[in-house]
Amino acid sequence: MVVVPPTGVPERSRATVYDVAERAGVSIATVSRVLRRPEAVSRATTQRVLDAVRELGYVPSGSARGLAARRSGAVGLVFPDFDDVEEIDPVCLSDEPVTVRPDPPGGAEPVTNLYMGEVMRGVEIEAWRHSLSVTVAVARGARKEAVLDDLAGRVDGLVVLGGTVPADVLARIGRSTPVVVVAGHRDGDDHDHVGTANGPGMRVLTEHLLHAHGLRDLAFAGGAADVSDDRDRFDGFRAALRAAGLPAPEAPLLRGDFTQARGRDLARRLVDAGDLPEALVCANDQTALGVLDVLLGAGVRVPQDLVLTGFDGIDAAGRSRPRLTTVHQPMVELGRVAVDALLQRLAGPGAPPTTRVLPVQVLLRESCGCGRA
Amino acid sequence: MVVVPPTGVPERSRATVYDVAERAGVSIATVSRVLRRPEAVSRATTQRVLDAVRELGYVPSGSARGLAARRSGAVGLVFPDFDDVEEIDPVCLSDEPVTVRPDPPGGAEPVTNLYMGEVMRGVEIEAWRHSLSVTVAVARGARKEAVLDDLAGRVDGLVVLGGTVPADVLARIGRSTPVVVVAGHRDGDDHDHVGTANGPGMRVLTEHLLHAHGLRDLAFAGGAADVSDDRDRFDGFRAALRAAGLPAPEAPLLRGDFTQARGRDLARRLVDAGDLPEALVCANDQTALGVLDVLLGAGVRVPQDLVLTGFDGIDAAGRSRPRLTTVHQPMVELGRVAVDALLQRLAGPGAPPTTRVLPVQVLLRESCGCGRA
DNA sequence: TCCGACGATGTAAGCGCATACATTCAATCT
DNA sequence: AGATTGAATGTATGCGCTTACATCGTCGGA
């Protein structure tokens, strides 16, 4: 890293209401009114105050405002830790401004990040609509709980991704701060919940395979067993089979962890065993894409030799060859509805906890035999 | 959307230091000490206080703490608006829990989001390391400036992506709050800056094409003209040509806007004209990927008929066929270094503004003829 | 035995703002 | 003219916390 030698010299002040009031020749109450309820102040006074604000570069203190108003005007967003680290080293950079690397290995899988990114965009959009700011925190490392408390203390409510925070910790925090859980089962808690129609979506997809394509020998490749989304999807899969009078397996044929790498492992096992089902229904797109990769490499044709489906509707699923039939989750809406739920909770603290289930879209594409192949 | 009828009834309180102090039989100063400087309190007292904290579900108010401590412990992160909207409608969802759509068009381009996402991850990581929280805001719509002021008022410093905020607005905010600009030129401002070696990276990449592959007829496909990254890259391109004794164009052969869609347009124009250069050097990966798409469709072989390169090192560039030769920007590090810069600024408010330039990596892959083709 | 030092805790003063309430004054009504 | 009203503004309090300073023991050394 190159550090360019500096040039100028900045100075920094921090004006307060008192400074502005003095300069404008009014009381601090009037300054506050000009900024919060302009309709309550005369035209001339407003102008004088605004001039003083501009001249002093006054920016109201969020802390003071939050304290006085008893609400911070911020929502907190809690993510799980993808990197799963306890320690992160300080930044370490090459001294060379440019290095050359021949053909390095492909990047990691940014997909989970993408999912989070979409949810976050939704949260941000809805927060923006209501003039709220968004503070994010990753529940990571040993100080995890402290980080969460800190966040809870500085926001009006929390949006937490399911499974990110242990139930007991969340319950404790919920005592003082409204919590909305996104994509997680209600386990006897009192939080508001927002989720998607995982089970029905998977059921409709499975029924499509059964009825539109006349398939009978379907297998399920699961994700992480302790994730409620996975359970719901598997249940939807089984429900479709049972409704068609077919035997429903007790457990997924294969069990992955939602990653593409594990999807590859599963596919290799499948190929090695030599006993392919007619269709492999995967618990999520990443798994399916990993499977697809290996299958194609092994000469298995999709969908001719094997029908393959995913779940989530991530971008990459629409760009694979063949394009992946999947179930699209409204991730941005998940975030937006979560904020809505939070606002309603803040408006009516006494109301009983709610659960919202967002609709999904089954996208029929090439990997099941639909779409333009 | 399905709203499941509610069940329980939550109640919410909000304990304060006073409550905890009373319950533990100590003064509020002691409560504060237990939480901030535990080493200054006796073992027994600490335990009593912590018990009271737990029993009451006490979470300190961030606003009050921020006010008293004169620092909020948060950094602000300002993004540009990708969607470029003035208004965003309320959430609108289908009433059907599951809908089926045959073969919908491919998704949008989440790539800019990805870039931002990586920078944000870096900011978050470094903030986490220093026990800071991160508050994000998108400079969007008419209330843009108000949103920014609000953010500036509630954080200790701002990380702003270059070009997101007009220079005069940023200067005004900089009067009261330290600002670090990421990936933007310094235009006589007093902010700290963090960028990457765009010019040198592009120059090395271009020199590789000239010397390792013996190419002579190179063209440049630019991005948005008003973006400093684009200028730097084009300058690096020209510097390499001049150093090799070749004529350097005054302007890019083609001018896009960093999107894949525009890349496609450019490629069509190129193909229609029928006059392909030996190599097309693109200002970023998205453009290159769009170009690649059309070229392959038109039967142009890469790299045999045309050498193609990108810039940024996004994930998709490593997954295309052929894989894209490009220059990788350390996006996560960009975010991390920005926070570092902010912390140093907070520690030494009087120091002159700094500029940090992070190193890049030239990734030689298939699209220039390197790598395993 | 007395004094100083030091560790542990309490006291009290804000931090910068919002807001309930009081005050002022001009316009309106009787 | 005096009373009444309402808009515009000021006064004063407190939000919940941190922290400088004061206080109180306790213990070791003279």
Mind listing the pLDDT tens digit for each residue in B256-305? Answer: 888 888 889 999 999 998 889 999 999 999 899 999 989 998 999 989 99
Residue A232 has pLDDT above 50, yes or no: yes
Tell which residue, B329, B143, B214, has the closest CA to residue A127: B143
pLDDT score, position B5? 47
- Whether B91 and A59 lie within 8 Å, measured CB to CB: no
pLDDT score, position A29? 95
Mean pLDDT on A17-30:
95
Residue B345: which pLDDT band, with cuts at 50, 70 and 90?
A: very high
Mean pLDDT on B4-13:
49
User: Do A286 and A111 contact (CB within 8 A), yes or no?
Assistant: yes
In the Cβ-directed half-sphere of B45, how many Cα atoms lie within 13 Å?
A: 19
Facing residues of A181 across strands? Answer: A160, A193
**B301 vs A236: CA distance, rounded Å:** 46
Question: What is the b/e burial string over B145-157, where b = at least 16 CB atoms within 10 angstroms of the residue's CB?
Answer: eebbbbbbbbbbb
Across all strands, nucleotide nearest A59 (CA–C1'): C16
pLDDT score, position B373? 46
Facing residues of B157 across strands? Answer: B75
Three-class secondary structure of residue B22 per DSSP: helix
Instruction: Work out the minimum CA distance from B275 to partner chain A, whole angstroms.
Output: 30
Mean pLDDT on A141-153:
93
User: Do B137 and B121 contact (CB within 8 A), yes or no?
Assistant: no
**Residue B328 to residues A99, A275, B198, B253, Cα–Cα distance (Å):** 10, 42, 10, 23
Structure token pair of residue B80: 């540009």
Between A350 and A325, whose confidence is greater? Answer: A325
Residue B319 burial by CB count (10 A; 0-12/13-18/19+): exposed, middle or buried? middle
State chain A's mean pLDDT as an integer.
89
**A265 vs B263: CA distance, rounded Å:** 36
**Residue B275 to residues A307, B265, B266, Cα–Cα distance (Å):** 43, 15, 13
Residue B81 has pLDDT above 60, yes or no: yes
Secondary element (H or E) of residue A76: strand A74-79
Residue A226: which pLDDT band, with cuts at 50, 70 and 90?
A: confident
pLDDT tens figures, B215-226: 999 999 998 877
Instruction: Name the residue among B94, B98, B372 with its Cβ closest to that of A362.
Output: B98
pLDDT score, position A108? 46
The three-state DSSP-derived secondary structure of chain A is: CEEECCCCCCCCCCCCHHHHHHHHCCCHHHHHHHHHCHHHCCHHHHHHHHHHHHHHCCCCCHHHHHHHHCCCCEEEEEECCCCCCCCCCCCCCCCCCEEEEECCCCCCCCHHHHHHHHHHHHHHHHHHHCCCEEEEEECCCCCHHHHHHHHHHHCCEEEEECCCCCHHHHHHHHCCCCEEEECCCCCCCCCEEEEECHHHHHHHHHHHHHHHCCCCCEEEEECCCCCHHHHHHHHHHHHHHHHCCCCCCCCCCEECCCCHHHHHHHHHHHHHHCCCCCEEEECCHHHHHHHHHHHHHCCCCCCCCCEEECCECCHHHHCCCCCCEEEECCHHHHHHHHHHHHHHHHHCCCCCCCEEEECEEEEECHHHCCCCC
Three-class secondary structure of residue B87 per DSSP: coil
Residue A107 has pLDDT above 70, yes or no: no
Residue A21: which pLDDT band, with cuts at 50, 70 and 90?
A: very high
- Whether B110 and A113 lie within 8 Å, measured CB to CB: no
Residue A141 has pLDDT above 70, yes or no: yes
Q: Over pLDDT 90: what percentage of chain B?
A: 67
Tell which residue, B301, B277, B293, has the closest CA to residue B210: B277
Interface subset of A 55-94, CB within 8 angstroms of B: 57-67, 72-74, 88, 90-91, 93-94
pLDDT score, position B202? 96
Residue–nucleotide distance: A305 CA to C18 C1' (Å): 70
pLDDT tens figures, A259-270: 888 889 999 999
| Chain A: residue whose CA lies nearest to B7 | A352
pLDDT tens figures, B163-188: 889 999 999 999 999 999 999 888 88
Interface subset of A 20-59, CB within 8 angstroms of B: 57-59
pLDDT tens figures, A288-319: 999 998 999 899 999 999 999 999 988 778 87
Instruction: Name the residue among A66, A201, A354 with its Cβ closest to that of B98.
Output: A201
pLDDT score, position B107? 45
User: Do A295 and A306 contact (CB within 8 A), yes or no?
Assistant: yes
Measure CA to C1' and name the residue nearest D20. B29
- Whether B133 and A138 lie within 8 Å, measured CB to CB: no
- Domains in chain A, CATH or no CATH each: 17-60 (1.10.260.40), 74-80+110-196+331-358 (3.40.50.2300), 198-329+362-368 (3.40.50.2300)
**A238 vs A210: CA distance, rounded Å:** 12
Residue–nucleotide distance: A22 CA to D8 C1' (Å): 18
pLDDT score, position B2? 55
Tell which residue, A133, A111, A116, has the closest CA to residue A124: A133
Three-class secondary structure of residue A262 per DSSP: helix
pLDDT score, position B7? 44
- Whether A67 and B72 lie within 8 Å, measured CB to CB: no
Structure token pair of residue B316: 């998709």
Residue B84 has pLDDT above 80, yes or no: no
Query: How far is it between the farthest Cα atoms of chain A?
Result: 86
A142 touches chain B (CB under 8 A): no
A297 touches chain B (CB under 8 A): no
Residue B191 has pLDDT above 50, yes or no: yes
Strands B218-222 vs B360-364: parallel, antiparallel or unpaired: unpaired
Instruction: Work out the minimum CA distance from A184 to partner chain B, whole angstroms.
Output: 15
pLDDT score, position A112? 59
The protein footprint on chain D, as nucleotides within 7 A of a CB, is: 7-12, 14-20
Residue B359 has pLDDT above 80, yes or no: yes
| Chain B: residue whose CA lies nearest to A361 | B99
pLDDT score, position A146? 94
Interface test with B, best of A115, A175, A289 (most B CBs within 10 A): A175
Residue A322 amino acid letter: P
Strands A355-358 vs B2-4: parallel, antiparallel or unpaired: antiparallel
The sign of the CA dihedral B289, B291, B292, B293 is positive
The sign of the CA dihedral A223, A226, A230, A235 is positive
Using alpha carbons only, what angle is made at residue A65 by residues A63 and A67, rounded to the nearest 5 degrees?
70
Structure token pair of residue A112: 């989970």
Facing residues of A194 across strands? Answer: A182, A356
Is the C-beta atom of A36 closer than 7 angstroms to strand C? yes
Least trusted range by pLDDT, from A177-186, A253-262, B101-110: B101-110
Least trusted range by pLDDT, from A298-307, B3-12, B341-350: B3-12
Contacting residues of A for B58, CB less than 8 Å apart = 176
**A91 vs A76: CA distance, rounded Å:** 26
Mean pLDDT on B67-86:
87
- Whether B65 and A63 lie within 8 Å, measured CB to CB: yes
**A3 vs B345: CA distance, rounded Å:** 14
Q: How far is CA B257 from the centre of its chain?
A: 17
